Amino acid sequence: MTLTVEERAKVLVEALPYIKRFHGQVVVIKVGGNAIDSARDETLLDVVLLRYVGMQPVLVHGGGPEISAMSERLGLKPTFKKGLRITDEKTMEVVKMVLTGKVSPDLVGAINRLGGQAVGMSGEDGPTIIAEPLDQSLGFVGRVTQVNKEPITALLGRGYIPVIASIGLGYDGHAYNINADTVAAEIAVALDAAKVILLTDVAGVLGVDGEVVAVMSREDARHRIDEGEVTGGMIPKLEACLRALDVVPLAHIVDGRTPHALLLELFTEAGIGTMVTP
């Protein structure tokens, strides 16, 4: 893969229209799950590049597998109800420790090493994310009721990349565990982002024949959810896209296992994963 100088110039020049379009714009990127692992450094390098070419990337992350692993090490058996982790007091303590004390610092450390400047935040900081219980039977699992964008924009305004753990502060003063796709969507709405990109560990939304659906309208996405054509973890992702589209012009579900999937999605014509349009 030795490229000629002509080829190199061509790639750079072809990125220009995209660089112009997103200049100064906020892009909220949800990383996490297994996706981040296989190509984490490529993904974070992309994020640093976005910052340098004038975009304002915001990272949101959960950390399900790490939470389960730590819970088990501490003798807490993870239990789920309809795919949502039942989060009692002790589990919530693990969630905070893992997301704020391990996943966030790991991402921040990696970005700093790759040449960016990141600052980790929990939704409790500020507080930035206000939550309420989603369902009493799930314990401290929450839904976002309000986003206070001020601490995020303060960091963006000084050139930092915010790395936000998907935890919110309840009106009861207790922390809540919130689905990270949803948090990404709500933050994208609050920041009036140009895009929300949910990195995942599958190729995109699959159609009935197993092919990746490249573009999907709002109505189409709603229809597929209602008809049961999408299932499992893809449902909250699509729902998050639909929520974001109330304000944000474009929402993407992108295969985080592809190296530099972000750059390719943002700066080239190449279609990576599924785009949901308003």
**Span 176-235, contacts to its own copies by CB under 8 A:** none
Contact yes or no for 60/28 (Cβ under 8 A)? yes
Q: In the chain, which ranges are E strands?
A: 26-31, 56-61, 80-81, 84-85, 118-122, 129-133, 142-147, 161-165, 167-170, 175-177, 195-200, 215-217, 250-255, 274-277
Q: Write the CB contacts of 105 (distance below 8 Å, at least 6 apart in sequence).
A: 120
Per-residue binder mask for its own copies (CB under 8 A), 18-47, x = binder: -xx--x------------------x--xx-
Residue 65 binds its own copies, judged by CB under 8 A: no
Please say which residue, 78 or 151, places its beta carbon nearer to its own copies.
151
Sequence length of the chain is 278
**Least Cβ distance, residue 195 to its own copies (angstroms):** 17
**CB within 8 Å of 109: residues ≥ 6 apart:** none
Q: How far is the CB of 118 from its own copies (least distance, A)?
A: 7
Question: Distance (Å, rounded) from C-alpha 125 to C-alpha 148?
Answer: 10
| Cβ-based nearer residue to its own copies, 96 or 243 | 96
Minimum distance, C-beta of residue 10 to its own copies, in the bound complex (Å): 7
Smallest gap from Cβ 186 to its own copies, in A, equals: 19
Packing angle between helix 104-113 and helix 35-52, nearest 10 degrees? 50
Q: Which is nearer to its own copies, 121 or 188 (CB)?
A: 121
In terms of CB distance, is 72 or 246 closer to its own copies? 72
Sign of CA dihedral 258, 263, 265, 271: negative
Phi, psi dihedral angles at 54 (to 5 degrees): 105, 0
Q: Show the site string, 134-173: x = touches its own copies by CB under 8 A, - = not.
A: ----------------xx--xx--x-x------x-x---x
Q: Which of residues 68-127 bind its own copies (CB under 8 A)?
A: 70, 73-75, 93, 96-102, 104-105, 108-109, 112-113, 115, 117-122, 124-127
Q: How far is the CB of 13 from its own copies (least distance, A)?
A: 6
Contact 67, 95 (CB under 8 A): yes
- The residue within the footprint of its own copies, chosen from 40, 143, 222, 260 (CB under 8 A), is 260
Number of residues that bind its own copies (CB under 8 A): 74
